[in-house]
Chain A
């Protein structure tokens, strides 16, 4: 349902993503692995059109969502971002209350329902409801790092996207918080399609159905996770997952 076809992204003269083609099946978790600066983030951002906010970015090839070219002339990037949500590596709560963080996206999208109901629902999904239920007006920046990332996930869920793009959501968290986020991601699979970039191979192995291995902006191998980790088709992937290089 989400696919890339010969997708390339360049920043100035630097190629960040070269000719990547892959298909993300619905209701699956796809992990994207590779060394740092291999293009993981760029690929994710290409799917919700946030690369174009970086100066000098140029995207070629196509990315499709339900058959619609996300980069088509008549496509509104704002609408793309409402359908394909993204969670960034660094948790960036807005300097406002917990409730206002949740409410920002739905309000922007013209949500007409009960925001408190919605907040309870998404905070519960994100596993944060028990922690913040007492005081939704507390400043979001007062939460712990793990809770902030949970809040960012909840806030993205509140927009009701179909796809969640997660860019190393646990990179800056302690093990306990990481475990919380991982079980959350797992539970999201029932309703969402998830693409998660990670440098943590065991996380990719634990969580995902499919795994894509990127190297220097190129897609080296895209296989079912079990295959990629036990019986990779390519030598580079094998070297990477067994830790023989890097």
Chain B
């Protein structure tokens, strides 16, 4: 071979080149980080699984899912989770009935109607609402929503489902607005222009052309917001009460899954007591439901075809 290449030793083999050591260290550090993340997830999952397993060793699963009385700490404990599930469902559905129109219409406003200045102001208000901690919303539910509600319906209880539902709806509306706007923005502008060129009004084009093209994204926005409502803890703990019955009137108190977990844990619970087992079982149920909703919502977002599907 020629002189040039002979002057440099051929050390293709081995991993001793410059930078190789730092690379090995970096790989180990990052692997350790990933292991820590996985370990954290495993610990959370493990605690819930063990607690729930202990719970079901005592209480039959059939009674848990079908029973209509939740009194885990009574003399004769009853473990029917149905009242908690019903309360969570009612508040979630009520909240999304508030948040979906409010959030989606705000998204439409921001994407298709707002001028630059007013749009920025509304977007800032939405962002501000989105960053308000839920405990502050809880304060508002207790100190503003409930007093207002009682002006209209003096019969409303101090802790009631209605004001909690309304405030949870306000809390998740920014999520719907934000994700809904993203979904609208992902629709190719050509659709909008084509619709407008046909002489239809802006509202017609948005409702009949743009919104159907963004259907998946809009569905994902609603689903992810509902997942947040299911997991919402502070508003319902503070304003909805602790009455675990199957109340039908929205003016009465109700107790959700999350509120049970939070309220029971407020008193010190020992990890080997019956109260912890009940909390773990309810927390595990919450985990499964919210995890599945979040995964479904994300899957909808991921499968959204970028402008390929069109009406």
Contact = CB atoms under 8 A, between A and B. Distances in A.
A4 B55 CA distance: 65
A72 B13 CA distance: 8
Contact of A110 (B2, B12, B15, B19): B19
A191 B5 CA distance: 10
Contacts of B14: 74, 76
Interface in A19-73: 26-27, 65-66, 68, 70, 72
A36 to B, nearest CB: 24
B2 A74 contact: no
Contacts of A155: none
A158 to B, nearest CB: 14
Nearest to A83: B12
Contacts of B16: 76
Interface residues of A, number: 22
A66 B10 contact: yes
Interface string B12-31: 11111111100100000000
A154 to B, nearest CB: 18
A109 B18 contact: yes
B20 A78 contact: yes
A140 B192 CA distance: 39
Specify the main secondary structure of chain A where it touches its partner.
Answer: loop
A39 B32 CA distance: 39
Contacts of A76: 12-17, 20
Contacts of B23: 78
Given A66-B5, A79-B12, A108-B19, 11 more contacts: A26-B5, A66-B1, A75-B12, A76-B12, A76-B13, A76-B15, A78-B20, A79-B17, A109-B19, A110-B19, A160-B8
B1 A26 contact: yes
Contacts, number: 50
A63 to B, nearest CB: 12
9 contacts: A26-B5, A27-B2, A74-B14, A75-B13, A76-B14, A109-B17, A110-B18, A162-B5, A191-B4
Contacts of A191: 4
Interface string B128-155: 0000000000000000000000000000
B13 A68 contact: yes
A142 interface: no
A205 to B, nearest CB: 26
Contact of B12 (A1, A70, A108, A109): A70
A76 B16 CA distance: 8
A76 B15 CA distance: 6
A228 B230 CA distance: 72
Contacts of A74: 13-14
Contacts of B20: 76, 78
A79 B11 contact: yes
A168 B141 CA distance: 66
A76 B24 CA distance: 13
Nearest to A76: B15
A1 B5 CA distance: 10
A104 to B, nearest CB: 12
Q: Which 9 residue pairs spanning A and B have beta carbons closest together?
A: A110-B18, A74-B13, A76-B15, A79-B17, A75-B12, A79-B12, A162-B5, A68-B12, A109-B18
B15 to A, nearest CB: 5
Contacts of B10: 66, 68, 83
A118 interface: no
A76 B12 CA distance: 6
